[in-house]
């Protein structure tokens, strides 16, 4: 019979004997003192057998592992087994003795002996980032803070998602930080880090309310919707908004130096660009019209504007004119015309003079566009675009400028604005944001009391309510997916944190097997090796964060260092991007043709061969002239 079943039988017999003795003791069959003298050794034997059983289970696992990797048993392996068994008994006796001496739980003492920390000092098992990743993130925050560019919540979240994404190799999508993760992480930061708001100065707008006029306007709006049978896809609002290129925005950052980090450097070129946008109550948006400051179209602009259906119309002062407004109206008609053309469209607009020219109004009547103006001085609390959409538009633009400033202080010029505007619009004009803009103005669904009740409040209260309604809310915003780092195997030293972590795990497994030998050579050596490993992982994660930041800086620098051109596009007025690119290509092809012709001038051309009428030396002659 193998050793393991024999021990189990002995243990069962001893347990049965003890049970019988306890029953006899309960019935006073034996003298109590005599019974205690008899039972005490049995309990000790059972205790020893229990630990022996645990040891043999461990040895059985070792035996199976070694037996699978060897051709057969050998004397050397059995000697190793007996040494392990002897060491186990020595260790068990020592732990039991110490636990009795100091009144400590034997299991707790055994766990501490093997280096397992207490539950109170162990890191949480459900934490999103590993310990070394969090250390790297804190060091990255400290670095940005020390150079005067404290990070925002969004930057911290993006960096955490990057760390999670580069280590992820499983199926599906990599885990990402939740909406509350940043706030919980900030609470775990050292006490010197606080959250403040960096505030660039803003211009304030005055509030003018005219209750009776606004009430009448809502009545007329309801009548117009009923008369022209307006559906949400045919209810439109358009307006222009100006951008000071490179002007930053308020943004909260995490810093240990709140007194010295209240401002972020401005990259503003003080050049303004006007953008005209149009949205409908269904949540759709048409391509924009851009009005850069200038008199001619430059080819350089169209290297950075990628969308063919965007319209560009330069103006000497960068603002809308009568001609540009009419160009936009035709642009709007093309992209908003319903499938059933006779359906009317209701276009809400402000009272700017460029929207009231004869040409503008006549075109609208011909193509079934009903113009509907807002009351004077009321667009800031009635116009859907002036609410959340344009607030978020400016906010996202400011965040992009701040992000580039923190990466290295590059000048944010007109070309950068054109390059980034596409992503800014995608993040700004989501369906939910656009619909919220209509709803909070009480226009769709029609709810005049929402605005009228606000206007009945005292002036200060009404201003506060309008400001609260315009408060920026981010809807449906998604972070850029950050590609994960490669995980291919290599015989070279680990070059990424992922590879380094694999090496560290292998090293720590090896250390656990020879921990006693290492500690005999140098006390605490295994612990110091683990500390070095953890430090290496932290530095590797920090290096990945810096590498990712440097990659962004390199991309911006590459774009900045590209040779620019001041060539003009031979066109006037508004121009679609696709038409501008076609003209640029035509000019480029013409230049190539000129270069080709200049290189082939003077090269002798092959002459046409003419049939000879003279006899040849070959002795054959064909008369091609014939008889005359």
pLDDT digits (tens, 9 = 90+) for 31-45: 555 555 555 666 666
β-pairing, 345-349 vs 369-373, is parallel
Do 248 and 330 belong together in one domain? yes
Do 234 and 137 belong together in one domain? no
**Mean pLDDT along residues 446-457:** 89
Distance spanning both ends of the chain, measured CA to CA? 129
Do 62 and 140 belong together in one domain? no
Q: 574 — phi, psi (to 5°)? A: -75, 145
Do 290 and 224 belong together in one domain? yes
Is residue 276 helix, strand or coil? strand
Do 217 and 311 belong together in one domain? yes
In a domain, 279, yes or no: yes
Q: Is pLDDT of 291 > 90?
A: yes
Do 243 and 390 belong together in one domain? yes
Do 175 and 268 belong together in one domain? no
Structure tokens given for 245: 């290129």
| Mean pLDDT estimate for the chain | 75
Contacts of 176 (CB under 8 A, 6+ apart): 161, 164, 165, 479
Measure the CA–CA gap between 331 and 288, rounded to whole angstroms. Answer: 9
Question: Distance from CA of residue 442 to its chain's centroid?
Answer: 34
Q: Is pLDDT of 121 > 70?
A: no
Question: Looking at beta carbons, which pairs linking 588-591 to residues 24 or more positions away fall under 8 Å?
Answer: none
> Is the pLDDT higher at 579 or at 43?
579
Measure the CA–CA gap between 73 and 195, rounded to whole angstroms. Answer: 66
Q: pTM for the complete prediction? A: 0.55
pLDDT tens digits for range 394-447:
989 888 888 777 766 567 788 889 999 999 999 999 999 999 999 999 999 999
Buried b or exposed e, range 259-289, using 16+ CB within 10 angstroms: eebeebebbbbeebbbbbbbbbbbbbbbbbb
The domain boundary, picked from 498, 530, 558, lies at: 558
> Of 105-109, 271-275, 339-343, 549-553, which gets the smallest average pLDDT?
549-553
pLDDT tens digits for range 175-189:
888 888 888 888 888
Measure the CA–CA gap between 278 and 311, rounded to whole angstroms. Answer: 13
Do 184 and 224 belong together in one domain? no
Do 176 and 215 belong together in one domain? no
Region for 238 from its dihedrals, namely left if φ exceeds 0, alpha if ψ lies in -120 to 50, beta otherwise: beta
Q: Do residues 313 and 573 lie in contact, with contact meaning Cβ atoms separated by under 8 Å?
A: yes
Cis, bond preceding 445 (omega within 30 deg of 0): yes
Q: Which of 233, 235, 208, 212 lies closest to 222 in space, CA to CA?
A: 235
Do 289 and 338 belong together in one domain? yes
State residue 197's pLDDT score: 79
In a domain, 392, yes or no: yes
Measure the CA–CA gap between 290 and 269, rounded to whole angstroms. Answer: 18
Q: Is pLDDT of 344 > 90?
A: yes
State residue 43's pLDDT score: 62
- Residues spanned by the domain of 185: 133-191+485-506+520-558
State residue 503's pLDDT score: 72
In a domain, 625, yes or no: no
Contacts of 22 (CB under 8 A, 6+ apart): 39
> Is the pLDDT higher at 98 or at 533?
533
Contacts of 439 (CB under 8 A, 6+ apart): 445, 447
Angle at 305 between CA 300 and CA 306, to 5 degrees: 130
> Of 91-100, 107-116, 202-211, which gets the smallest average pLDDT?
202-211
Do 224 and 290 belong together in one domain? yes
Do 245 and 394 belong together in one domain? yes
Measure the CA–CA gap between 68 and 134, rounded to whole angstroms. Answer: 41
Band (pLDDT 50/70/90 cuts) for residue 333 is very high
Domain count, the chain: 3
């Amino acid at each position: 019979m193998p050793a393991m079943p024999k021990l189990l039988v002995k243990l069962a017999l001893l347990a049965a004997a003890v049970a019988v003795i306890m029953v006899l003791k309960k019935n006073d069959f034996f003298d109590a003192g005599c019974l205690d003298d008899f039972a005490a050794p049995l309990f000790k034997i059972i205790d020893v057998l229990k630990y022996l059983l645990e040891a043999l289970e461990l040895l059985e696992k070792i035996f199976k592992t070694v037996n699978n990797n060897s051709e057969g048993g050998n004397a050397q392996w059995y000697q190793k087994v007996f040494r392990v068994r002897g060491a186990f008994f020595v260790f068990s006796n020592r732990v039991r003795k110490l636990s009795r001496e100091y009144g400590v739980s034997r299991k707790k003492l055994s766990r501490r002996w093997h280096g397992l920390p207490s539950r109170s000092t162990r890191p949480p098992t459900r934490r999103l980032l590993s310990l070394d990743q969090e250390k790297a993130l804190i060091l990255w925050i400290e670095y940005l803070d020390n150079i005067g560019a404290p990070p925002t919540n969004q930057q911290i979240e993006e960096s955490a998602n990057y760390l999670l994404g580069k280590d992820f190799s499983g199926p599906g999508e990599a885990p990402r930080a939740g909406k509350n993760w940043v706030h919980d992480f900030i609470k775990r930061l050292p006490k010197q880090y606080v959250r403040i708001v960096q505030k660039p100065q803003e211009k304030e707008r005055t509030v003018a309310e005219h209750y009776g006029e606004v009430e009448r306007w809502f009545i007329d709006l309801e009548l117009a919707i009923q008369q022209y049978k307006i559906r949400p896809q045919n209810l439109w609002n358009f307006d222009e908004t100006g951008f000071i290129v490179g002007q930053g925005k308020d943004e909260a950052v995490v810093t240990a130096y709140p007194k010295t980090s209240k401002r972020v450097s401005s990259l503003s070129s003080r050049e303004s660009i006007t953008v005209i946008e149009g949205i409908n109550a269904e949540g759709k948006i048409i391509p924009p019209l851009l009005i850069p400051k200038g008199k001619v179209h430059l080819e350089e602009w169209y290297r950075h504007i990628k969308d063919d259906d965007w319209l560009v119309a330069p103006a000497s002062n960068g603002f809308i004119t009568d001609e540009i407004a009419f160009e936009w109206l035709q642009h709007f008609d093309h992209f908003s015309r319903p499938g059933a053309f006779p359906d009317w469209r209701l276009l809400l607009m402000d009272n700017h003079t460029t929207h009231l020219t004869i040409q503008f109004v006549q075109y609208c009547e011909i193509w079934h566009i009903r113009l509907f103006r807002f009351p004077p001085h009321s667009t800031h609390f009635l116009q859907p675009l002036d609410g959340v959409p344009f607030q978020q538009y400016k906010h996202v633009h400011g965040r992009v400028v701040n992000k580039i400033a923190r990466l290295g202080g590059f000048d944010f010029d007109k070309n950068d604005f054109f390059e980034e505007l596409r992503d800014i619009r995608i993040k700004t004009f989501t369906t939910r944001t656009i619909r919220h803009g209509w709803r909070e103005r009480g226009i769709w669904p029609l709810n005049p009391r929402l605005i009228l009740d606000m206007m009945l409040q005292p002036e200060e209260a009404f201003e506060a309510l309008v400001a609260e309604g315009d408060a920026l809310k981010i809807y449906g915003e998604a972070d850029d997916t950050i590609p994960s780092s490669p995980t291919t195997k290599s015989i070279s030293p680990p070059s990424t944190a992922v590879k380094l972590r694999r090496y560290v795990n292998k090293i720590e497994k090896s250390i656990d097997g020879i921990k006693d030998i290492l500690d005999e050579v140098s006390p605490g050596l295994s612990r110091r090796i683990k500390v070095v490993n953890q430090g290496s992982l932290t530095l590797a994660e920090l290096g990945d964060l810096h590498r990712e930041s440097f990659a962004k800086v390199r991309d911006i620098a590459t774009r900045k260092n590209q040779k620019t051109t001041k060539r003009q596009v031979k066109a006037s007025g508004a121009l679609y991007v696709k038409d501008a690119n076609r003209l640029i290509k035509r000019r480029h092809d013409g230049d190539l043709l000129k270069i080709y012709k200049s290189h082939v001038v003077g090269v002798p051309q092959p002459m046409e061969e003419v049939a000879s009428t003279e006899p040849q030396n070959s002795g054959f002659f064909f008369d091609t002239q014939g008889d005359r």
